[in-house]
Structure 1
Amino acid sequence: MNKKFLSAILFGTLMVTSAGTFVSCKDYDDDIDNLQGQITANADAIKSLQELVNGGDYVTGVEKTDAGIVFTFSKSGSKTITLDTAEDHGQVFELKNGEIYVDGKATGIKPAADAEKAPVKAVDGVWEFLNANGEYQSTGIPVSGVTVVGSQADGFTLTIVDKDGKSTEVKVPSAASLITSIVLKNDASTNGFVISKATFTKPSKWAGKKELPADKSVVYSSSTIDIRVNPVDAPATEAKYYLTNTKNQTLSNIALDAEAESADDAITIGGINGRAANTGNGLFTLSMKQYILSKDDAKAFDKELTDNAKARDMDNTSVTNFNDCVAFAVNANNKARSAYNLPIGTKVAADLTKIQVKDMASSEATLAASNPTKKEITVVVGKTYTIKEIADEAGLMYDMYFSLAEVDKKTYGVTYDDLTHTFTVANNPDVSTAATGFDLTINTLSTKGQVKKAVYTVKLSSAIETPSTYEAITYDVAKLKDTDASNDAFTLDMDIMKTALGDKWAQWANTVGLDKTACAIYTKADCSDTPKQVGVTGLKITLTASDKTTPATVNNLKYIVVKVDKANADDLKLDKQYYLKVTFKDKVGTAEVNNIVVPVTFTAPSVASQFELKPGYVVDGTINAYYYDLTEDTKKNIALSRYFAKSDANAVVALDTEKEVKAKDNHSYRSGGLATLSEATMAGNVTLNASATDKDGGNAVAPDATTGKEFGYGETLTVKATNDKYSDTGWTYSTDSKKAYSFTIKIMSPIMEGTVKPVEGSTIKISANSTKGFDITKAMITGVDYNKNPYNVVPDKDVTSDPTNQVDNTVKAWDNEQIANVYVTKKGDDNTYIKDITLIGQKAKTADAAAVAGAINVKADPLPNEQETAIIVNVKDAWGYTISEEVSVTILKN
């Protein structure tokens, strides 16, 4: 492997024959010379290189010129790093014949050869060389200036070293270096890569412009290879591709080019077969240009295919698969490499029998040696067309040329290029009626040397080529919900089309009938799919003058106004790319004059974006809903709308049935079994189920016997809101992600989530052996709700009789409407410290009796010691839940 170390002064004149290089042979190939100059750099140019790299550009070539080192970028053109060639910067440092030379003089330093290590490298501003011990040793020769090393496979590294030995690197990628992996289409192993060969018999007479091969030369062509490259935006078309086997042997004569897959539709599951998606998403087709070998060279290549590739003879019907063939991989400039999954096949080329006009339907013409059957085609004036083989005969046409009558050539302004196989009709002899047309002969020469021809009878379309480009339009359907009627439409400016027509405007105006204009919506960019006719019921389209109201004539046409209907979407979907094609026809409405195609997308806010929670109700993303209603029949209903500042009133609302909320006895319970919605809209109420059911609707769970809590009480329930359409319009979402919104909610009692505790300290002190008992008053004990709001557990509402201190007490002795009952018990059945607990109701002063304060009366046993014990305060709230809180009491010895 020969590499060149070239100075800024002597680049291009030094011949280097050693195996030395700044980088190891395994990293860089022979395609690009390494450049090394002891120079000063233009700082702005260096900065611009880095900016281009950061912007995603890449290098297609590097060369040394008188101006400096020139980097050619794919998108940004050439950028030059200028060189200072003053005498004091002219030191030449090179490696030749295995020895380091400085200014042409041998230094006696001979780096050791190592396949894995560079013989010379720069370290801390000084050149070091690889010695016989495999270690790097200083030469004492300082480094300064700019060094460029690399290749088209790996990219390039620009190193700038200042006079103090400080270095800065700029990594400049090449096309191939950006490709990280190559994936073959799944059918590669079954279809193989088939090389066709045709022995060329030189014709006695041929008028084509392409140089003919020697007689009995062999012309090779091939099938194609479908690949996917990563990353998907890598410039795969800039690289060359080769076929390499597992022994790193690359097949000679085969160099492939990449063409991006260009279908307008996304590829179906049946057609994808291991590939990605459309242009810009990594799909490419590799193909080989025809190449010619002499008879002897062809024999050598055929032997290589037989011996090294074990190529399958496709003409041998007894061999039905590629199992015995050598497996090859596709590699990009010897950088990225696919899996070894591609066998080689060979066959004798078939005869060329048909041609076609590229991208023109029903244009296949049959070839014949003489008197071919004519094929009629219709072309658009000003448009360029290409002649090519049909798909099954790709690569079989070696050359072709056009011929037609001179009078037709001048009358219709026909121009053609025999080498590119293209022709254009520039003139329409009659702007008001279609011309009669002319015969165009295609003379072909196959790879076998067969001379045949086809004749097209060319008719002219009344269409006028209009190369106008309209920017894509995105219309927000939400505008239909405001009060401004002018927002209900979008417009297409016809001045864009007029400008594109140029001097054909008069022809257009004389031909067109504006009242015959047709509009349709397509899903393919080339409008080849079945259209959706629009303009009558949903989208209403009018041609207007500049005021957007007055019906247009050819003289005042300014806008196409497209009015969007709120209720009728013409079966169009939101967030889907459409193409609005406006076709202008002639005055009788039978022939197309021209058309414009405008990319259009209708969009609308998602369902989720139409919901806004009131933040005051939300904790960690979940609505904390506390009961608020005290009306007996509705008190356990939670109104969903209460918690939202806005919502989609047209959404269908349901409790989730997929995600498990809790489990019991190996049964799974979901939100839909734990609660119920009164109706399937945001106007509905959610209520906890008294009988919770599992995911299958069985295994019911009743509320807790002590607390009254339903099985779903306090659990995080999920509610889903879905709407296939945007709000109350007729416009349907095309993506599921925009159709749905979900939120979570917990339903709780404000009392149940509180507690009961002493007002001061951690215990309530009472006296022992009091015959009247000790009254615990509201000044000593309190209840608090979830928000620490206090309420009295001691009776505080005037009554005429005392509450019974039982779970079934019916005396409403508490003023707080959220409290239904309180009863107090001693802790533990064997608690002998407390003899009895009663409740004393609050009584108003009467003529016969003084007022009585409510209290919890506790009679304690006579004790010789101070003793702490506890009472249990049970509070039943208005919603049927009972909170039981242990409260410490200390019995004092007086």
Structure 2
Amino acid sequence: MNKKFLSAILFGALMVTSTGTFVSCKDYDDEIDEINATLTDLKSQLAALQTKVENGDYVTGITKTADGKGMTFTFSKGSTVTVTLDVKDGEAGAPGTPGKDAQQVTVDEKTGELKIDGKGTGIFPAKDAAKAPVKAEGGYWYTLNEKGEYENTNIPVSGIIVTGTEATGYTLTVYSADGEKVIKLPTASSTITEIMIGDLTFGATTSTTSVTGLDWGYKSNGKIDWKGPKGNIAANQLMIGQIAPAEGLLSVTPASVDLSGMTLELIDTKGDIAPVNIVATPNSTDGAATAPRAAATNGKWNLAITLKSDVTKDNITKVFGAWDNSSYNAKLYALRINGKVYTGYSIAVKVAENNAITNNATTVGNGITLSTTNLKSIGNNHDKPLDNNSNIEVPVGSSSLVCSDSKFYDGYIAFEGTQTAKAEKLGVSANGMNLSIKESAKAEEVIATVHIMSVDGKETTKNITLKIGGVKSDDTQTIAATTYELGLDDSGVLNAIVVDLKDAFSSLSAANAEEIDNLTQITVENVKDQVNFLANDLTSTNVTFYTDKDGKPADKFVDGSANDGEVVLASSDARNIRWMKIAVNGNVNGKAKPGNYNLTLTIKDQKSGTAVSTIKTVTIPVTVALPTWNKLFKNTTAWEDGKFVARLAASVANKPVVNFTRAFLPNTKAAVNDIKLTIDKVDNKDVIEDQSSASVTLKNIQNTNKTLKVNELGVVASYTFGGVNDLTVKSSKFTTKIMSIFEGAKLVYYTDNVAGATAKVGADFTIAKLTIANNKKNGLALQYGKGESAVCNSIPVIEGVTVQESNSTAADKVKVAYGVDGLNNVTATSVSEGIKLVNAQIGDKGTLVLTFTDFAGIVTTATIAFE
């Protein structure tokens, strides 16, 4: 018998180096608590983890569970998976209650062999009355040897271990009763396959394509009292000008990698890290919008740096090297991401060499003069420069004044004198260079004083007139998601997206309604799928607003003569708008897929002569879904017992063709003239010669005895919307039963509507063909499917096939031959009256045989007795 010795669990600590280890209990007889798994069993936990990895997700964090005995993996898309083991057990030698994942370690009492889960190990521990033959230590089983010492068997104990680093990815190893399971867990940086970077140089802001040396300075003869955000400036304090960001020069593959949460550093060839902070933000200059998380959907990133506090006036040129516009003794850096170097050593931080200020004498000038070229207002889709009259338009809401001069160190906006009360009345406030305009009943102006500090320690001021838009910005609103199920309208084109805007317009304030040019126009801007479901921006030609879903009564809010993006209202009050209809046909991105998207509707004040202000921004979530196959199509009558019956009724180069257009009918009027079925999968690939959108040419389907070798095909039919591959609806797999053209047909003989199994031969030895007179059937008929037809040379065209007699020379026709069984020397031939028996005698009895040979050489027969 076997004596149970021990089963235990040891959980490994999360390692951040290239090796890992177990953290175990101190002794083999420590009791292990039961672990509460987040999923029902270990297999489902590991399956969930594997699914995440296979779907392209990657690990952003690994933590132990609250009890310290499990591990929770956090993924980039926000979800988590916890892995634990069910290994509850008692003390050594005690009955215990082992969990389903626990290893069962026993020593066979007869043979003395160590067994794991009942399987022999070939190891025979020594016996010692004072020592246990087996113990768990360091994550492995140890056995007692003849010297009374414990030796490592190198057999892992049940448990979980994680090894690896963020840079290389992690490896999860699980040891349980089911054996060893290993899962590779990619991390953000380990998923990066390629980093492409342009001619990246950090330096001063410039309007040209070149990057000049970074402007910097200090004031040696006393401090400066300064009210800007950066506070008072001490003597000899380093002042840094604006550093130009690198926009879109960094491209990451795969594009889904999120750089924003990673540690970006510049490292030189000696391993020294540059004293800078690097921030990566998504770049969308090619039209790709920023995703809800920080990842750049197009894989391109902007990089911005700031210098750390340990850079001073005394070491700045030593740290980075100096630039004097003629020579450059610069340090070159590589970009390191989460501890891994991805680029060559070609990145520089340009620092101008002679920008130090001594006793207020400077080489960089005497402060900054604000002008039309270096001051502008940005915010709320707004970008306006200072004009020649020192006027600048600013939008309602939050915005900023931006000075682009490379010597800009700090700045702030103040309202002084009589303008203080006026700004307060208008709801205008400032914090540094940032403006906030809470409300304004009408277009107003207020004078602001802009204070600018240059790196040369010189303060300059300028009074500018803020021209404020005469509306109050309503809050940004996100409406309920709209489900857009692809389909075809009555014209056979893709159906429109119909959005219920709910209160998006009705909640506009009366003041806003009045200020939108007396409700004569609004502007639809940025109404574009942010992840490219639609190929192009929407314009007035494909966006329509209605007061009700069906556009009734005729209260249509669009005038086709308007410019793109501009919608002219035909109603007296835009607040009545409830529905938005977006024409889709011809505007679907070729890479579109079913899924969740966002549209953005922006309503602006477009009054002539005033600042353009955003009135309303509406985020419209749209879920694009595919319809079911059964919603698009239904089965025809050509189905029997759940199988589509396809007859070999056409040919290509004398080879049989199965046509699937007979399989389905459209459920909508729109699809009648546009049924395009493609065969996605055919089980019997050895019989497929070629396939088109709705048919399959067959080969090698007959045996030497002229019968079908293959009579069934497994098929999946599909329909694609707009020619976009990922917008394809597929049927469930169905069986196509292949039959020859007259397979299963039989001959019957009617006498006054009564079908008989024996045909009557007339006095002229002719079996009369089927006739119908006075609603009565008489004569020989060929029953085919649910009907019958006359037999002889008037056999009708069936499924587009013309039937010829066997002596015909036509190679692409189904041929029929007439014969007689049971009578020597008697033959049959077709005549206009029916089928004539040649050389027959009165009283003869026999069997009439019709033999059909189709394109593939498949032979079928139909027979009937005659007398």
TM superposition score normalised by structure 1: 0.49
Q: Deviations over 1:401-438 (max 9, x none)?
A: 223314323322343333xx42223453xx2x422322
Quote the offset at 1:288 in angstroms: 1.1
Q: Which residue in 2 is equivalent to 1:356?
A: 376
The counterpart of 2:315, out of the listed 297, 314, 323, is 297
What letter is aligned with 2:434?
A: T
Q: Deviations over 1:387-408 (max 9, x none)?
A: 3343xx67x5322222331432
What letter is aligned with 2:430?
A: Y
C-alpha separation between the residues in 2 aligned to 1:645 and 1:570?
A: 20
Q: Which residue in 1 is equivalent to 2:301?
A: 284
Q: Which residue in 2 is equivalent to 1:838?
A: 825
C-alpha separation between the residues in 2 aligned to 1:409 and 1:151?
A: 57
Alignment of 1:200 with 2:176, yes or no, is no
Q: Note if contact 2:413-2:430 (Cα within 8 Å) is conserved in structure 1.
A: yes
Q: Note if contact 2:335-2:342 (Cα within 8 Å) is conserved in structure 1.
A: yes
Alignment of 1:798 with 2:761, yes or no, is yes
CA pair 295-328 structure 1, distance change in 2 beyond 3 A: closer
C-alpha separation between the residues in 1 aligned to 2:712 and 2:219?
A: 88
What letter is aligned with 2:468?
A: L
Q: Deviations over 1:118-141 (max 9, x none)?
A: xxxxx9455899xxxxxx988xxx
The counterpart of 2:260, out of the listed 220, 237, 245, is 237
Quote the offset at 1:466 in angstroms: 0.9
Q: Which residue in 2 is equivalent to 1:378?
A: 393
CA pair 172-286 structure 1, distance change in 2 beyond 3 A: farther
Q: Which residue in 1 is equivalent to 2:774?
A: none
Quote the offset at 1:334 in angstroms: 0.7
> What's the % identity of the aligned pairs?
12
Q: Which residue in 1 is equivalent to 2:501?
A: 492
What letter is aligned with 1:461?
A: G
Q: Which residue in 1 is equivalent to 2:540?
A: 533
What letter is aligned with 1:438?
A: I
The residue matched to 1:533 in structure 2 has which SS?
coil
* Structure with max Cα Rg: 1
What letter is aligned with 2:448?
A: D
The residue matched to 2:501 in structure 1 has which SS?
strand
Q: Note if contact 1:626-1:749 (Cα within 8 Å) is conserved in structure 2.
A: yes
Aligned pairs for 1:621-770 (under 5 A) are 624-625=646-647, 640=661, 643-644=664-665, 646=667, 648-649=670-671, 651-652=673-674, 733=722, 735=724, 738=727, 752=740
Q: Which residue in 1 is equivalent to 2:775?
A: none
Structure with greater helix share of residues: 1
C-alpha separation between the residues in 2 aligned to 1:267 and 1:216?
A: 40
Q: Which runs of 5+ in 1 are unaligned?
A: 1-20, 29-33, 78-122, 130-135, 162-167, 269-275, 307-312, 367-372, 629-635, 660-667, 673-681, 689-706, 725-732, 754-784, 804-812, 824-835, 857-872, 887-894
CA pair 158-440 structure 1, distance change in 2 beyond 3 A: farther
CA pair 289-561 structure 1, distance change in 2 beyond 3 A: same
Q: Deviations over 1:268-323 (max 9, x none)?
A: 9xxxxxxx9984554432221134523443354246xx9xxxxxx69348x9xxxx
What letter is aligned with 1:330?
A: L
CA pair 158-737 structure 1, distance change in 2 beyond 3 A: closer
Quote the offset at 1:606 in angstroms: 7.4
Aligned pairs for 1:509-588 (under 5 A) are 515-518=519-522, 520=524, 522-524=526-528, 532-533=539-540, 539-542=544-547, 559-562=576-579, 564=581, 578-582=599-603
Q: Which residue in 2 is equivalent to 1:435?
A: 444
Quote the offset at 1:462 in angstroms: 0.9
Q: Which residue in 1 is equivalent to 2:467?
A: 459
C-alpha separation between the residues in 2 aligned to 1:687 and 1:171?
A: 43
Q: Which runs of 5+ in 2 are unaligned?
A: 1-12, 80-134, 142-149, 205-212, 356-363, 531-535, 557-568, 651-656, 682-688, 698-704, 750-756, 767-778, 783-789, 794-804, 808-822, 830-834, 862-867
What letter is aligned with 1:412?
A: A
C-alpha separation between the residues in 2 aligned to 1:557 and 1:615?
A: 53
Q: Note if contact 1:626-1:748 (Cα within 8 Å) is conserved in structure 2.
A: no
The residue matched to 1:798 in structure 2 has which SS?
coil
Q: Note if contact 1:520-1:534 (Cα within 8 Å) is conserved in structure 2.
A: no
Q: Note if contact 1:434-1:461 (Cα within 8 Å) is conserved in structure 2.
A: yes
Q: Which residue in 1 is equivalent to 2:283?
A: 261
What letter is aligned with 2:315?
A: D
Q: Which residue in 1 is equivalent to 2:110?
A: none
Aligned pairs for 1:290-439 (under 5 A) are 290-291=307-308, 293-302=311-320, 315-316=325-326, 329-335=334-340, 337-340=341-344, 342-344=346-348, 346-348=350-352, 354-359=374-379, 362-365=383-386, 375-381=390-396, 383-390=397-404, 396-413=407-424, 414-418=428-432, 421-426=433-438, 428=440, 431=441, 433-439=442-448
The residue matched to 2:402 in structure 1 has which SS?
strand
C-alpha separation between the residues in 2 aligned to 1:380 and 1:517?
A: 19
The counterpart of 2:743, out of the listed 772, 786, 792, is 786
What letter is aligned with 2:466?
A: V
Q: Note if contact 1:411-1:427 (Cα within 8 Å) is conserved in structure 2.
A: no
Quote the offset at 1:386 in angstroms: 2.6
C-alpha separation between the residues in 2 aligned to 1:602 and 1:224?
A: 35
Q: Note if contact 1:494-1:559 (Cα within 8 Å) is conserved in structure 2.
A: no
The residue matched to 2:401 in structure 1 has which SS?
strand
The counterpart of 2:618, out of the listed 587, 597, 609, is 597
The residue matched to 2:315 in structure 1 has which SS?
helix
Q: Which residue in 2 is equivalent to 1:179?
A: 189
Count, aligned residues: 620
CA pair 266-599 structure 1, distance change in 2 beyond 3 A: same
C-alpha separation between the residues in 2 aligned to 1:213 and 1:849?
A: 133
Q: Note if contact 2:525-2:602 (Cα within 8 Å) is conserved in structure 1.
A: yes
Q: Deviations over 1:719-756 (max 9, x none)?
A: 999998xxxxxxxx594765999999999996x56xxx
**Alignment RMSD:** 7.6
C-alpha separation between the residues in 1 aligned to 2:468 and 2:451?
A: 18
C-alpha separation between the residues in 2 aligned to 1:786 and 1:267?
A: 60
The residue matched to 1:252 in structure 2 has which SS?
coil
The residue matched to 1:202 in structure 2 has which SS?
coil
Q: Note if contact 1:541-1:562 (Cα within 8 Å) is conserved in structure 2.
A: yes
CA pair 597-126 structure 1, distance change in 2 beyond 3 A: closer
Q: Which residue in 2 is equivalent to 1:100?
A: none
What letter is aligned with 2:415?
A: L
Q: Note if contact 2:666-2:675 (Cα within 8 Å) is conserved in structure 1.
A: no
